[in-house]
Amino acid sequence: MTDEWVLDPYCGAGSSLIAGIRHGRRVAGCDKEETYIKITRERIRAFFEGRLPLRPLGRDLYQPTGKVARVPIEWEQGAIPHAYGNARAELT
Q: What is the pLDDT of residues 47-80, one digit of tens each?
A: 999 999 998 888 877 788 888 888 887 777 776 6
Q: Is the pLDDT of residue 1 over 70?
A: no
For the chain, the structural domain boundaries read 5-87
Q: What is the pLDDT of residues 83-92, one digit of tens each?
A: 555 555 555 5
Q: DSSP letter at 3?
A: T
Residue 2 or residue 69, greater confidence: 69
